[in-house]
Amino acid sequence: MGGRMTGIVLVTALACVMSGCVHEQATSSSANASAEVLPSQSSSVGSTASSTVSSTVSSTASSSPKPTTNSTHTNTSSATSSPISTSSPATNTAPSTMPTSTSYAKEADAKKAIEQRAKETIKVLKEHDMAKLAELIHPKKGVQFSPYSYIHTASDVQVMGSGLAALWANTSTTHWGEYDGSGDPIDLTFPDYWDKFVYNQDFAAAPQISYNMILGKGNMINNVFSIYPTSTYITVEYHFPGLDPQYQGMDWTSLRLVFENAGGQWVLVAVVHDQHTM
């Protein structure tokens, strides 16, 4: 009896052991199966992410505008509001020295355009009215004073409208250039310079007046039309061919007023004195 019971116990224990092994194997197999699935799932996720990124990049690239090869010169809707044009010169470019369709090289055209403004200006010069003169000169360039026919753009005195009255009232001398012949400095107050190199005669009553044409001619180079070409500027010359008959015209004198059209208004840019020189 005792031996039979021992055998039963052994069989039962053996069954339990075998059952546990089977469960452990099943658990192990299940874990292995799960482990085998994970790489597949990872691959699937990676493939899906890669596909999504690739699709997104491709979609973004296809929706982005492609640059054109001539984008610099392409007219767009915004270009119409821009003051800069690539097809024509800007309006504020330097005037051409070549005659244009609005050239005043012909005296009749120049006279028609400037006669009234010239009369107004010469009257102001006669009265040396600095306040009124300030209104007639170029608002940005001012007015240049040259004692002789050869204009020195780098050294001739340039006065802004706002400085005319103060210069007239100033008792100090200004260097205006050099006297012809001697080369001595022309150091004068503004009123003294005016009497000698601006209104040294009653030019408002000058017997001869020309428009973009030279009347007084001496041995000094006259470069007025090189500096102020007739394609853009108008030079009005008030000329006395001679003052005393005994000098046979050697005492001639001229005053040239140079005008520029600035914004549709003719303004004074230069006052050039001329006379017989050595």
SS3 label, residue 271: strand
Q: CA torsion angle for 141, 147, 148, 153 (degrees, to 10)?
A: -30
In this structure, are 111 and 54 located in the same domain? no
Which of 10-19, 37-46, 106-115 has the lowest average pLDDT? 37-46
Among 145, 186, 185, which Cα is nearest to 163's? Answer: 145
Q: Is 230 exposed, middle or buried (0-12, 13-18, 19+ CB in 10 A)?
A: buried
In this structure, are 30 and 121 located in the same domain? no
Domain that holds residue 7: 1-58
Assign residue 186 the CATH number of its domain: 3.10.450
The answer to whether residue 101 sits within a structural domain is no
Q: What is the pLDDT of residues 183-239, one digit of tens each?
A: 999 999 999 999 999 999 999 999 999 999 999 998 999 999 999 999 999 999 999
In this structure, are 117 and 51 located in the same domain? no
* CA 231/CA 97 separation, integer angstroms: 6
In this structure, are 39 and 155 located in the same domain? no
* CA 191/CA 195 separation, integer angstroms: 6
Does this model's pTM top 0.75? My answer is no
The answer to whether residue 94 sits within a structural domain is no
Of the chain, the end-to-end C-alpha distance in Å amounts to: 165
In this structure, are 30 and 161 located in the same domain? no
SS3 label, residue 235: strand
**According to the model, what pLDDT value does residue 278 have?**
81
Q: How many domains are contained in the chain?
A: 2
In this structure, are 207 and 269 located in the same domain? yes
